[in-house]
Amino acid sequence: MLASPPLLAIPFPAFDPILVSIGPFAIRWYALAYIGGLMLGWWLTRRLVSNPALWGGTAPMKPSDLDDALLWIALGVILGGRLGFVLVYNFDYYSQHPVDALMVWRGGMSFHGGFVGTVVAMVLFARSRGIPVWSLFDLVAATVPIGLFLGRIANFINSELWGRVTDVPWGVIFPNGGPEPRHPSQLYQAGLEGICLFALAMVAIRLGALRRPGLVAAMFATGYGIARTVGELFRQPDPQIGFLWGGMTMGMLLSFPMIVVGVIFIVRALIKPARG
């Protein structure tokens, strides 16, 4: 604990988590981040599929396939993200208040749960359409950082998931985080998980990664696991879980398998011959 806040600590801006409110109906920044991420991702995947040069020939799916995939992916993200949060991050509470588990608008989503939900949704959709599942994974993985960036910005606006106490001059005094300044870890994660991973995916695609099914998806899994682990070094652990052992957090623990599996599938994708 710090004896007193640093002189250069930044007061939290007066953000309203609700963008528009009309009677009982309210549009929150958090919901807008999910909608924006899905719509921008859908637009980008259509553009990628429409560019044969990126695939070494005709893409293995049509833009119209992605129109239908959007609903499957949205359900996978929301159901998986909520279920992951309920079971992993706050099971004791929701086991006593099961109805609250349905109140998604109050917040509480797990990326790792959403990741699993999206993977299941894509596998089911790809099989129903006869689409190569690894190519679908690659397309979606290239666009996920957009939603991650918007989601972390919404976390900052909502004054949630803030960082650990710090004395750095850019520390922020969050209204619900006590009197001490804290790392704005949401912004760190927006940069790492959003901007950096998106740039990595776009560069890889320009260099021909879509010609090697599974490569972009594996790079994303590895990159996210590393980015999340770095972000967890500054983020305050969830109070109902706290630190695990040796300073490890639940976010780190869930990210480790992503790194291992991602590296394995990067090697697998590079060994196989490229399309075209």
**CA 104/CA 261 separation, integer angstroms:** 30
228 is in an annotated binding site: no
**CA 194/CA 147 separation, integer angstroms:** 8
DSSP type of residue 172: E
Distances (CA, A) of 82 to 9, 123, 225: 34, 20, 20
Nearest Cα residue to 223 out of 265, 188, 199, 193:
193
Distances (CA, A) of 175 to 172, 181, 213: 9, 10, 46
Nearest Cα residue to 218 out of 155, 148, 267:
267
**CA 163/CA 247 separation, integer angstroms:** 15
Annotated binding-site members: 152
